[in-house]
Structure 1
Amino acid sequence: MAERDLRFLGELAAQLRVDSVRASAEAGSGHPTSSMSAADLMAVLFAHHLRYDFEDPGNPANDHLIFSKGHASPLLYSLFKAAGAVTDRELLRFRKRGSRMEGHPTPRLPWVDVATGSLGQGLPVGVGVAMAGRLERMPYRVWVLCGDSELAEGSIWEAAEQAGDTGLDNLTLVVDVNRLGQRGPTRHGWDTGAYARRFGAFGWHTIEVDGHDPGAIDDAFQEAHGVRGRPTAILARTRKGEGVRAVADREGAHGKPLKEPEPAVAELGGERDLRVEVRSPDRAGEPYRFEGGELVLPEYKVGDQVATRSAFGEALAALGAARGDVVALDGEVADSTKTEEFGRAFPERFFEMYIAEQQLVAAAMGLAVRGWVPYAATFAAFLTRAYDFIRMAGVSRSPIRLVGSHAGVSIGEDGPSQMGLEDLAMMRAVYDSTVLYPCDANQAAALTVEMADLTGVSYLRTTRGATPVIHQQGERFPIGGSCVLRRSPSDRATIVAAGITVHEALAAAETLAAEGVQVGVVDMYSIKPIDTAVLVEAATTTGNLITVEDHRPEGGLGDAVLDAVSELGPRVVKLAVHGMPGSATPGEQLADARIDRHAIVAAVNRLV
């Protein structure tokens, strides 16, 4: 590299450090030292290797840069300033109320794909974006900046396994090995060889480099471009707080603005206003998309016995035939969740993520970044392992569709380790989420299609066992709606159920009617958003609501109903799973949990 280029890169890196110090000082908080360690790495990337059109962030040929170490946001925003995307004035509004320069990056900035800051997530999402690049046959590269501390996260190694096994050579990981974490030294310190051995074991090409030598960094990036059939990990030895003696490689400086920013800026050579010309991508055509066709949903006859998980699988395959942008991801349970139907029909759009639920959700997020419509399915219970990813998908406003099968005690003999009993609460708590729980096959099929055009995180809960079909073929089930299955002027209470308990509620209503007690029954298939109008009417006319759910009492259907009618003051009785289930048949499980038809009858009689 020419001496002139080296001088420019050194000056650019110094500017990035200065601006990171200034922004954090102005905010009175932030992570300048974590930004300063990676400044040389990112200066070389922006000046020589990144291909990105900042005036057109939607350009499908753009590279993707993900700051997994999202706390280094001062560095990212300083890079955006150097590229001319933001002004110095906006940079100095870092962490201020209403500013796009948030403490950790989010897609409020058009050049940010996903929210980061919960460590260990950037690489798994980057794997998903790289998978999309292969699917759509585009030449862009995915660059992920990680810190060495987050390499302790298991999600990193789920991603390393997936990327290595599938040979994602369009993915480059840059690890800022600055030796220091939040409270002290990291596990391996500056031993880049330890990290190289680990990534190498997963099939990655590894490069160890001095992270403050622009020429060596440039050579490493160039080498990564030439690797075929393997992802590349660049392991860069750096110093936290590089460039300022007071904080360089010093413990106790993490997550704090510099105590004396003015002398630090002077030590770094003062303020600069350099501009880096990030090269726009070469014209690469349009991303490949698969053809669609007519939507022909499966139909089920009233009275048939069909599991909602089976209806979901058949409907997803039908949706895949109609829409070429739909993809499916499996957590190595496709024969149980029934995503195998889609996999057989569209193998190129079906991704086996194995038993790695964090990578499952992250890959869905990465595919959604590129405009694909992902459905990711596993057992409802196992989605709890990926909840931090789901939470961050909400922060990212990521349109991913999650499907949890084998929900509740009604799965039967497998016992509590396999029972999703917390999933409704978990999903309801996610920002702007949609939570759906069909009771029969026609409803499950229709809701599978409804999910395709939703924004944000959506969740479909399916049942293991066969249930009677009670809804007509072709019936519509709008998001936020419900189905009033029984209602009369003489109703003394309304039973609100969803999924498996709808059938128990209908049976209980028949028994009560024979005893001279009339009750209404509402199939509340949309738990979030919930049909407040129907609930208010029921609360007003009967004054008594009984919710029944195959879920824990906290945060599920009962609490959703209470939230909707609490100001009206009706009596609300919640039937839910309170005890710890064991092994038993599905019918025995419902009875033991006191959520079967007999328990509902008893609850109504106590109430009225």
Structure 2
Amino acid sequence: MGVFPAARTRQGTGEIVRMSIQELQRKSVEYRKTILKIIHHAHAGHTGGSLSCIDILNVLYNHVMNVSPDTFSDPNHDRYVQSKGHSVEALYTVLADKGFFPVEDLDTMEQYGSHYTGHPTRDIPGIEQNTGALGHGLSVAVGMALAAKMDGRPCRVFTLLGDGELTEGSSWEASMTAAHYKLDNLVVIIDRNKLQITGPTETVVALEPLADKFAAFGYAVQQCDGNDIAALVETFDRVPFEPGKPNLILANTVKGKGISFTENVVAWHHKVPTDDELSRAMAELDRAAAEIEVIA
């Protein structure tokens, strides 16, 4: 299907636009601020996993995917399924920024009567599939990719899995199916932050050698630093890696990335920052934003 184009459209115009690496880096800082603010306001949320995967979502929605509020009803738009649904704060943040719903809606997250719950649902504009029960998202994405192939549609299907959910057998059943049907329009991304709610993945249920396992299941596998914007852009721009094979990006990330006191700390899987912690985090992110400008 060729190299993926930069296929974002400017809302209301159909014009394709592309963000620079520096613009994407700025976005990641902004997104991290929003994630922390909405979790703090809601008094609930999966902080660590949202911070580890936000750079991936940033590049997907601002560089890779052909999807916007204007194109969402078009059957040819690219699909995104967040299998690790518990990190929904990252997805809400990006969808609000892209104009799928008012940013102010984020203030209602986890409040009584709000559709903005702790896992994605199709009640929210821009969300393709309800997720949350781990191990289901890949199966849904495989079905979407197979349907696109059967219908001859140019759309691609992207899905993000947490490494902890790979102990679910459905992930591997779906992988066999993806390889069997040669779904090179499917891109599976693993948020490989190496931590889950009960501890390190290699202590809970060892996953390594993970790249070799995916290759054995028929994927074309590439690894990259999942918190490095330039590395993510370069990797996504090379998809499909091999015609006739589903694509697997093993994105090596840091849980809680971007905040010194949340990085690689198991307790931040599901933890709400205090007022003081939020203030400290905002100061760190302000410094990170200033460093981007200095480098530029």
What's the TM-score bracket when you normalise by the shorter of the two chains? 0.7 to 0.9
Structure-1 residue corresponding to 2:259: 244
Structure-2 residue corresponding to 1:145: 160
Give yes or no for the alignment of 1:87 onto 2:102.
yes
Structure-2 residue corresponding to 1:262: 279
Q: CA deviation at 1:135?
A: 1.3
Structure-2 residue corresponding to 1:119: 134
The structure, 1 or 2, with the larger RCO (C-alpha pairs under 8 Å, 6+ apart) is 2
SS in 1 for 2:188: strand
Partner amino acid, structure 2, of 1:261 = L
Gaps of 5+ in 2: 1-18, 290-296
Q: CA deviation at 1:185?
A: 0.4
SS in 2 for 1:199: helix
Please list the CA deviations of residues 78-130 of structure 1 after superposition, one character each: whole Å capped at 9, or x if unmatched. Answer: 00122122223111211112222211000001321221011111101100001
Q: CA deviation at 1:42?
A: 1.4
Give yes or no for the alignment of 1:195 onto 2:210.
yes
Give the alignment partner of residue 120 of structure 2, picking from 105, 114, 117.
105
Aligned length: 268
Give the alignment partner of residue 52 of structure 1, picking from 67, 83, 87.
67
Q: CA deviation at 1:193?
A: 6.5
Structure-1 residue corresponding to 2:25: 10
Measured in 1, the distance between the counterparts of 2:65 and 2:134 equals 23
SS in 2 for 1:114: coil
Partner amino acid, structure 2, of 1:47 = N
Structure-2 residue corresponding to 1:76: 91
Partner amino acid, structure 1, of 2:20 = D
2:61–2:67 CA contact under 8 A, matched in 1: no
Question: Where do residues 536-555 of structure 1 align in structure 2 (5 Å cutoff)?
Answer: none
Measured in 2, the distance between the counterparts of 1:262 and 1:181 equals 26
Give yes or no for the alignment of 1:169 onto 2:169.
no
Partner amino acid, structure 1, of 2:286 = G
Partner amino acid, structure 2, of 1:33 = G
Q: CA deviation at 1:69?
A: 0.4
1:21–1:261 CA contact under 8 A, matched in 2: yes
Measured in 1, the distance between the counterparts of 2:200 and 2:45 equals 20
Please list the CA deviations of residues 337-395 of structure 1 after superposition, one character each: whole Å capped at 9, or x if unmatched. Answer: xxxxxxxxxxxxxxxxxxxxxxxxxxxxxxxxxxxxxxxxxxxxxxxxxxxxxxxxxxx
2:146–2:183 CA contact under 8 A, matched in 1: yes
Residues 1:208 and 1:51: Cα distance change in structure 2 (over 3 Å): same
Runs of 4+ in 1 over 3 A off after TM superposition: none
Q: CA deviation at 1:187?
A: 2.5
Measured in 2, the distance between the counterparts of 1:269 and 1:116 equals 33
2:211–2:250 CA contact under 8 A, matched in 1: yes
Give yes or no for the alignment of 1:30 onto 2:40.
no
Residues 1:39 and 1:267: Cα distance change in structure 2 (over 3 Å): same
Partner amino acid, structure 1, of 2:161 = C
Partner amino acid, structure 2, of 1:266 = A
Q: CA deviation at 1:192?
A: 8.7
SS in 2 for 1:223: coil
Measured in 2, the distance between the counterparts of 1:137 and 1:193 equals 36
Give the alignment partner of residue 232 of structure 1, picking from 230, 247, 250.
247
Measured in 2, the distance between the counterparts of 1:266 and 1:68 equals 32
Partner amino acid, structure 2, of 1:268 = L
Measured in 2, the distance between the counterparts of 1:216 and 1:92 equals 33
Q: CA deviation at 1:57?
A: 2.1
Give the alignment partner of residue 208 of structure 1, picking from 203, 223, 242.
223
Measured in 2, the distance between the counterparts of 1:262 and 1:249 equals 20
Gaps of 5+ in 1: 273-608
Please list the CA deviations of residues 272-301 of structure 1 after superposition, one character each: whole Å capped at 9, or x if unmatched. Answer: 9xxxxxxxxxxxxxxxxxxxxxxxxxxxxx
Q: Give RMSD over aligned pairs.
A: 2.0
Structure-2 residue corresponding to 1:184: 199
SS in 1 for 2:81: strand
TM-score by length of 1: 0.43
Question: Where do residues 295-306 of structure 1 align in structure 2 (5 Å cutoff)?
Answer: none
1:192–1:208 CA contact under 8 A, matched in 2: no
Aligned-residue sequence identity (percent) comes to 34
Measured in 2, the distance between the counterparts of 1:176 and 1:18 equals 20
SS in 1 for 2:146: helix
Partner amino acid, structure 1, of 2:282 = V
1:193–1:208 CA contact under 8 A, matched in 2: no
1:168–1:231 CA contact under 8 A, matched in 2: yes
SS in 2 for 1:146: strand
Measured in 2, the distance between the counterparts of 1:222 and 1:198 equals 24
Give the alignment partner of residue 58 of structure 2, picking from 24, 43, 49.
43
TM-score by length of 2: 0.86
Structure-2 residue corresponding to 1:19: 34
Measured in 1, the distance between the counterparts of 2:167 and 2:241 equals 29
